[in-house]
Amino acid sequence: MEVANNSFIERYLKALLDGQRMEAQNLCIEYVHAEKTLKQLYEEVIKPALYEVGKLWERNQISVAEEHLATAITEGILNSFYADIIPEKYNHKKVVLACVEKEEHQVGIKMVADIFEMNQWESFFLGVGFPTIELIKYIKEIQPDILAISISVYFNFSRLKDMIYELRRALPHLRIIIGGQAIAHLSQRAFPEWKDITLFNDLHQLEAFLINLK
Range of the domain at 136: 88-213
- The whole-number average pLDDT for the span 114-124 is 97
- Give the pLDDT confidence of 27-47 residue by residue, as tens digits: 999 999 998 899 999 999 999
E strands present in the chain: 94-99, 122-127, 146-150, 175-179, 197-200
Task: Please tell me whether residues 139 and 38 are part of one structural domain.
Answer: no
What total of structural domains would you count in the chain?
2
Task: Please tell me whether residues 62 and 136 are part of one structural domain.
Answer: no
Q: What is the CATH number of the domain that holds 57?
A: 1.10.1240.10
**Confidence bin at 1 (pLDDT 50/70/90):** very low
Task: Please tell me whether residues 138 and 203 are part of one structural domain.
Answer: yes
Alpha carbons 23 and 14: distance in angstroms, whole number: 9
**Confidence bin at 190 (pLDDT 50/70/90):** low
Task: Please tell me whether residues 96 and 173 are part of one structural domain.
Answer: yes
**Confidence bin at 185 (pLDDT 50/70/90):** low
- The whole-number average pLDDT for the span 60-83 is 95
Alpha carbons 36 and 41: distance in angstroms, whole number: 7
Task: Please tell me whether residues 156 and 190 are part of one structural domain.
Answer: yes
Q: Pick from 84, 112, 145: which residue ends a domain?
A: 84
Q: What is the CATH number of the domain that holds 126?
A: 3.40.50.280
Is the pTM higher than 0.85? The answer reads: yes
- The whole-number average pLDDT for the span 126-148 is 96
**% of the chain beyond a pLDDT of 70:** 93
- The whole-number average pLDDT for the span 64-77 is 96
Helix, strand or coil for residue 3? coil
Task: Please tell me whether residues 207 and 102 are part of one structural domain.
Answer: yes
